Amino acid sequence: MSLESNASNCRAKEKFLQIFEGRKFEMLRYDTIPSEKPDWYDHDQFLQGQDFYRRFSVGILFSKFMSLVLGLFFPRLLRPLMFTRRSERPLDALRRYTATGMHVFLWYTRDPWDPDSKSRKSLQEVTTMHRHIARMGETTQGRQKIQEAMANMDTDYLGAVEEALHCFQEDTSKLQVPDSEFFACLHSQLKEEEEAMELPTLSQFDLALTQMGFFGAPLLYPHRVGIHGATERDWEGFIMFWRTMGYLLGIDDKYNLCQDTVAETRELLQVCCGYFSWQVHVDCSLAATFMAFTVVEGHRKLNQGLRLKPLIVYASTIYDIKMEKTRKSMTWHEWFCYMKIWRFLRYGWNSDSAAADEQQFLHSEHSLKLGLAHN
């Protein structure tokens, strides 16, 4: 590693430590979303971010869905979802995340500063919901609901979930995580504070991790999620959009993942990816796998091509997490689903990127044949 890249990594880790401090503070800083624009706000860049979504909506939305599934393996993000008990069954999960998708669509397509806009009303509705979950999660009744949700997992799916979990755990236990001592120290500190019940149910850090799910994959690995030909101006607009959304949803500026430059934001996101890798390395749970299964099964009502294992394998590949055991355990049908996702996202219609990906696609077809040989 060069001195310059080492210095950048150190700065990014220092910034991550600052965001990690947000675990001690509640998610919501105000009851009503702010009407004043922050000093750093640039309206032209914000509009560029919305235009970027219009041009690359498929890749952005599908990467959001994959990040949602992976995000369930963050224990602090999983617990509030279990507490609400609105994702325990496939149709419930579909309704919940279809509603989430509609909120995000309104943010991307309407003016959040207009007091009468649907975007602003949506943001207020989401912050009100977050406040309710945060307050209820602090009560004894709320903590009991989480335990009840874990005890009442639908036995109809338990066999498939346990089989998938066995593969996931074997793969994640072998992960080689860079800066593992750094993340292990943070993980240990977080666990001690949680056991002592010193942390809020929903914190600034939790919201920052959620924010990453909406823009992290496109910014770090655009070609892997079907975004080809984006310019630096596009990325600046995309970051401005999510910096603004974070601000409106209650993230304090010092805990916002969106930084002043594209390079700084990417460096910080890389550290966040390392933290996620460590989390799944030490805590790949039955509850997370069950919730991921119900979310994917619910969305199969809209797209029969979705399956949990192919989605996890592809989503993990985006972040350079190897899932060899899971990959080899896939059935012929699951391999077919995986290749559909691969072609859908990676084989972009931009001629230059498509040509560059040709050799990798042929290699994946060879992997498909090898995978089928194991079934």
Calpha distance 301→294 (Å, rounded): 12
Contact of 286 with 165, CB cutoff 8 Å: yes
**What pLDDT shows up at residue 305?**
84
Fill in the DSSP letter of residue 37.
P
**What pLDDT shows up at residue 75?**
86
Confidence of residue 329 (pLDDT cuts 50, 70, 90): very high
First-last CA distance in the chain = 41
pLDDT in tens, 174-233: 988 888 899 999 999 999 998 888 888 889 999 999 999 999 999 999 999 999 999 999
CA angle 174, 175, 176 (to 5 degrees): 115
**3-class DSSP state for residue 73?**
coil
User: Quick one: what percent of the chain has pLDDT higher than 90?
Assistant: 59
The two structure tokens encoding residue 227: 């975004």
Residue 119 pLDDT exceeds 80: yes
Confidence of residue 81 (pLDDT cuts 50, 70, 90): confident
Residue 140 pLDDT exceeds 90: no
Q: Which residue has the tokens 């309104």?
A: 106
The two structure tokens encoding residue 24: 């001690």
Reference 142, options 77, 80, 73, 204; nearest CA is: 80
Beta bridge partners of 203: 26
CA atoms within a 13 Å half-sphere pointing along the CA-CB vector of 276: 28
Calpha distance 174→179 (Å, rounded): 15
**What pLDDT shows up at residue 357?**
39
User: Quick one: what percent of the chain has pLDDT higher than 70?
Assistant: 84
* Residue 110 CB-density burial (10 A; 0-12 exposed, 13-18 middle, 19+ buried): middle
pLDDT in tens, 244-284: 999 999 999 999 999 999 999 999 999 999 999 988 888 89
Average pLDDT over the chain, rounded to an integer: 86
Residue 35 pLDDT exceeds 50: yes
Any idea where the domains of the chain sit in the sequence? Answer: 11-309
The two structure tokens encoding residue 99: 């509603």
The two structure tokens encoding residue 32: 């009503």
Contact of 279 with 74, CB cutoff 8 Å: yes
Residue 350 pLDDT exceeds 60: no
pLDDT in tens, 163-188: 999 999 999 999 888 888 999 999 99
Beta bridge partners of 26: 203
Reference 278, options 174, 208, 180, 190; nearest CA is: 180
Please state whether the predicted TM-score (pTM) of the whole model is above 0.75. yes
* Residue 190 CB-density burial (10 A; 0-12 exposed, 13-18 middle, 19+ buried): middle
Residue 256: enclosing H or E segment and its boundaries? none
The region that residue 176 occupies, defined by phi over 0 for left and psi between -120 and 50 for alpha, beta otherwise, is beta
